[in-house]
Amino acid sequence: MMCDLAMFLGEQVKVMNGVEGFMYPNEIGLQWSVLIVLYPFITGLVAGAFILASLERVFRVEAVKPTYRLALLTALSFLIVAPLPLQLHLGHPERSPEMYFTPHSTSAMAMFGYVYLWYLMAVLVFEIWLDYRRDIVLLSQSTKGPVQWIYKVMTLGSDNISPRSLHIDEKVGWIVTLIGIPSAFLLHGYVGFIFGSIKANPWWSSPLMPVVFIFSAMVSGIAGVMLIYMAMTKLRGQKIDIRCVDTIAMYLFYIFIIDFSLEMLDLIHRIYEADESFRSLNFMVHTKLYVPHIVIQILLGTLTPLILLFITQLVKLPEQVRKRMYVTAGSLALVGIFAMRWNVVIGGQLFSKSFLGYTTYKMALVTKEGSLVAAGLTVLPLFILWALVKLLPPWTAEHVRQATTGD
């Protein structure tokens, strides 16, 4: 089955503009670039980081408390950057307010504006504000210089940090986090639905798509926060809370298993049903997507971290070895999840809807949608995080404690 397609394409390999076989004339150039790969990756990190934060707040997993505030700030940094790849991609970004004024109710993409705004203001900013409010009020009184005005504005004019008000904050914050969990699923799940609801594209069209996106988002977010926590703690010269990291790694492992199972289910289902698109997609995965899909996403990005994490769950290894394995597994997981987004978005545009040919993605270096911009947008959230950590230190209480005990 694969042989005759290979032979057929071999006869037709007129590689003009990178096209093999036949593509509808308008399909030859890709519409959605690496920036559209980056967008779900970024919102995935947001959703995943938030889920990690909710582990402590809602599910009372005490062990991960050291990462609670950091996870929220990480989510916010990435969420601020999230609209940028979309704006750079649009033909008319100045018209994007139309999504707020006349959203089309049948379009999953129209949800973006409102879901984003809801998640940013009513969940993330609200929760961060509630958790930090005591520190904000204190800092608005103690800081000197122009930064003091930032804190003053953030207090919204209220300096009430009585125990009762803080208690109310705690209760309301709990509700916000609770609402935040389905909101996070919505923020990232709708992206999966954007792809999964396109009947024209058999690589995308699947009810599993939103679910796979959500679980892979959790993997990337949890891995991301774990790495950021370990890196930041090291940079601050502090001791990494190994119990915290062990717990995070355990959750990472289990969620990764679910994610991998879902992707395998999709694959097995496709191979078994072998509908009209299967031959073309199968050929694509074995040729054009071989490195990004088989090598990077599956072998390096999923199986390797799973095996590493499995070993750490099975055998009690020395702390130093465990930390190295977590860093490796976490980094590979992030690469694997990025590859997954790549394979979905780019892969879905490499084959013809006639199932008779393939094209190539020529990623430019310095254009508006090129690889330099993509790389820049990936690291930009880290700079924003650095600024947020300076403004709203996640470890203030720790500093105070250490200062008084003279550590």
Partner 1 sequence: MSAFKDAGHLFRFAGLFVLAFIIFLVVRGYVVPRSFGQYGHYRGAAIGEIAARPVKFAGHETCETCHSDVLDVKSKGKHAHVNCEACHGPLAKHADDPSSVTPVKPDTAVLCARCHTASAAKPKGFPQVDPVDHSNGVPCETCHQPHSPAIEAAAAPAASAGGAK
Partner 2 sequence: MNLSRRHFLVLMPAAAVAWKAVLAGTPEQAPNYKLSDHWWGMLIDVPKCIGCGNCVRACQAENDVPDGYFRTWVERYHVEDENMTNPEVISPDGGKEGFPVAKEDAGKYFFVPKMCNHCTDSPCTQVCPVGATFVTPDGVVLIDQKYCLGCAYCVQACPYGCRYIHPEKKVADKCTLCYHRITKGLTTACCENCPTGARQLVDLKNPKDPIHEFLKTHPVQVLKPQMATGAKAYYNGLDGSVR
Of 179, 266, 353, 382, which one interacts with partner 2 (CB under 8 A)? Answer: 353
Residue span binding partner 1 (CB under 8 A) among the ranges 22-30, 164-172, 270-278, 340-348: 164-172
Q: Based on the shown chain and the rule CB under 8 A, indicate whether residue 110 belongs to the binding site for partner 2.
A: yes
**Whose Cβ is closer to partner 1: residue 64's or residue 136's?**
136
| By the rule CB under 8 A, 121 interacts with partner 1 | yes
Among 62, 98, 170, 319, binds partner 2 (CB under 8 A): 98
The two tokens of residue 105 are 């109710």
Q: Kindly give, in sequence order, each residue whose CB lies less than 8 Å from that of residue 359, ignoring residues fewer than 6 positions away.
A: 17, 18, 19, 20, 23, 27, 28, 29, 30, 349, 350, 352
Q: Distance between terminal CA atoms of the chain?
A: 69
Q: Which amino acid is at 96?
A: S
From the list partner 1, partner 2, none, partner contacted by residue 390 (C-beta under 5 to 8 A by kind): none
Contact 110, 99 (CB under 8 A): yes
Of the two residues 121 and 274, which places its CB atom closer to partner 1 in the complex?
121
Q: Is 165 in the site for partner 1 (CB under 8 A)?
A: yes
- Assess 99 for contact with partner 2 (CB under 8 A): yes
Q: Any contact of residue 156 with partner 1 (CB under 8 A)?
A: yes
Interface with partner 2 (CB under 8 A), residue total 44
Q: Is 92 in the site for partner 2 (CB under 8 A)?
A: yes
Window 77 to 106, contacts with partner 1 (CB under 8 A)? 97, 100-102, 104-105
Phi and psi for 21 in degrees, rounded to 5?
Answer: 75, -145
Q: Is the CB of 65 or the CB of 279 nearer to partner 2?
A: 279
Burial grade of 126 (CB within 10 A; 0-12, 13-18, 19 or more): middle
| 95 touches partner 2 by CB under 8 A | yes
Q: Please report whether residue 356 would count as binding partner 2 according to CB under 8 A.
A: yes
The reply to whether 22 sits near partner 2 by the rule CB under 8 A is: yes
**Residue written as tokens 């397609």?**
5
SS3 83: helix
Rule CB under 8 A: say whether 200 interacts with partner 2. Answer: yes
The set of long-range contacts for 118-121, using a CB threshold of 8 Å and a minimum separation of 24, is 118/183, 119/46, 119/79, 119/180, 119/183, 119/184, 119/186, 119/187, 120/79
* Residue placing its CB nearer to partner 2 in the complex, 14 or 234: 14
User: Is the sign of the CA dihedral 372, 374, 376, 379 positive or negative?
Assistant: negative
What is the dihedral sign for C-alpha 277, 283, 289, 293? positive
Cβ contact 249:329 at 8 Å: yes
Q: Which residue ranges make up the site for partner 2 (CB under 8 A)?
A: 4-5, 8, 11-12, 22-27, 31-32, 89-93, 95-96, 98-99, 102-104, 106-110, 112, 194, 197-201, 279, 349, 352-356
Q: Which residue ranges make up the site for partner 1 (CB under 8 A)?
A: 97, 100-102, 104-105, 121-122, 126, 129, 133, 155-158, 160, 162, 164-165, 168, 172
